[in-house]
Chain A
Amino acid sequence: MLIALPAKAELFGLKGYVLKNGMRLAVVPNHKAPIAKHMVWYKVGAADEELGKGGSAHLLEHLMFRGTQKVRGQSFNRILEENGAENNAFTAQDVTVYHEAVDISRLELAMALEADRMRNLSIDENSFETERKIVYQERKQVVENNPLYKFSEELQRVFWQDHPYSRPITGSESEILSLTRKDVKDIYNRYYVPNNAVLVIAGDIEPDAVYRLAEKYYGKIKPVTLPLNKEIFDAKVESQTALRMKLPDIELPRLIKKYHVPGYTEAKDGIYPYIVLSKYLGEGEVSKLYVNLVVKSKIATGVSTDYNFVAIRGGSFSISAIPAKGVSVDDLKSALESAMKQAMSELDAKTLQKYKKQMLSGLMYAKDNPNEAAQVVGMLASAGMSDDEIENYANNIEKVTVADVKKAFNTIINSTQTEAMVEPEGAKK
């Protein structure tokens, strides 16, 4: 039995373009309110940094708000503020993203400002020094104030080994303090170019008009040949690892199993069985592992799965669980392993159909909020998905069979993996 889908089920109703300089544009019309979300996704992040230069992509993200030759000093934020924009930026392993939510009458202003700072950034020594202090404080506040960070960063190192994803996005404390202006300029000059960016605009607009304006503001920026990042091809992770930590100041034990599985870069449309598998095993309160471990056996108080397929240098599949009071992490681990096997033995066509229906029934909501639509489209497009691939999500999920999901499961359990546990210091083993 197939789920009834419209002849052409479109996730967002997006329309894509490529500007003459190679910049990709994705437009998602949404006419509910006279507003737009404008996002520039640069395909460069912490994983592109040279060794020892951790945090330089993130520091550059901060310095992008410190003025260009035309829009000097802090005018960027001032201009956007007076025009009612909500603007911010974030840095991840593979991308650095700048975004503005604006009244529709200010969309062109956001385009002009973002286009200007794609190539004309000026970084003076004073701003650099101050901003380096700020990102140092940011690491202390956002990362180190949370006592669990030692476990999270250690897990990242153990799981990714020599791979660039093993390093924290903020950089380490000593790396931050030793960064130079040249380090951030290098990233800016190499990677902040139109042919390395995805422009996403969602809101009260017509796609062709946006395309014309994108050519007007961004089109005049010349493309630049991109460096090849060797690390992508070299860093293989081949050892199984385990991590066991005891930490002061944490109160809850946690168990995380993490597997190296193909992401979109390698698997292309092979990602969908993993997406379905993740939903089936551990997304939400009717997922198999949740029902088995939390609702029925009560060995855990929480369990969830996550499949990261957008990381361009390697995907991962994670299962996280928290043991119930009085249950050891080791007992939870055994219970989790048998629950996984049991879940797979219970998977038949009818069950699969039920879970797929859950995944597809709420797709309409994706169109509701232009801010969220822009975020998802930007993430998928930056991972290399074509417009059609993004729009055909429902059909691709629909095609997944029981055999596909079982194969994905077998790939996962036989993959290179890390088992990580953390317990409060002083807790009995």
Chain B
Amino acid sequence: MIEKHSRRGDLLLLLGFALVVAFAPTIFEPIGGGYPDLLQKFAIYGIFAVGFNILFGLTGYLSFGHAAFLGVGSYTAVWSFKLLTMNVLPALVLATVMGGLFALFIGFIALRRSGIYFSILTLAFAQMSYNLAYSVLTPITNGETGLQLTHGDPRVLDALFGVQHGDGLPSTDLFGMSMSGWSGYYFCGVVLFAMFYVSLRIFRSPFGMMLRAVKSNQNRMNYTGINTRPYTLAAFVISGMYAGLAGGLMAVTDPLAGAERMQWTASGEVVLMTILGGTGTLLGPVLGAGVIKYFENIFSAFNEATLMDVFSFLPETLQHGAVAITGLFVGEGWHLTLGALFMLIVIFLPGGLMEGVNRIKALFRGGLRRGEVRRPATMTG
């Protein structure tokens, strides 16, 4: 199970990752993804999934409530914008800390159980947070409408330093650099890179080794006299902080926090991202996050008129037929494509997208080790 990692390999990985982050606008332009909002989403959900993978990929504990930390992070960040300052640094720090605290509380309780019981405990906490945020906690969360900035917010730090925001609604900034559009993306990209690096360090550290040991056989660990709880709790809190940070970044690029960010479907989404990309792999979660967000934003945007354009090279009768058939899978049918994709990937690439990547790599290395594709570490029942 233990894979060899050369320092050179890791460095190449980081370098490649940095290059992709830096040139993402150019890389994704041809497939219609080269605009700031989508790339921000790639980066933010990438962070979320990378953090989730530290818990799930290493320890095998499947949390179904991670969206709660994301939501808490968002609310914290928006409150920081409302009460303290429009500068994003305090907001992100507070969001990460709150995500961690929340995770500490929930993790402390939920980690008393394992397997499916753990999953349901996390799910229950997240659903409670969502339901309350949507209804009775409206004074804090602004319920259905979502927490937004208003003109009359105090922003004490800004007032203290004499920062003026003009007539309209203020926008988030990093010491004067606007956090929307491309600069917002690069900010998220840098954070993603840093978080990816942290995750790599964790994967390669003795701590990461310990977490893997928990996954492979927790009982044996306990028999040897090691108390595994502090390790799993630490992993849980770290991934909660990642989620809080991701939630904070969502508020940074778009200062609105809604309760539905905490719904079980949102928790499920990060699970799907991680499995789709490849559980326990470093890059997989980022890939999975990108694919799901790409489908959600690009495939849903095709409508009959755009399809007609795409198939305009066909004779008219064929064109209508082609539009009718593809129309089932894009636009309002984008869910169908996503569902089918889940099935296809898991049937043909059990290790997620990363297995596909590895197979291609193996193919390039020639037929020497044909068929000997190593499956990345995945959760076992």
Pairing of A with B = no
Q: Which A residues have a C-beta under 8 Å from some C-beta of B? A: none
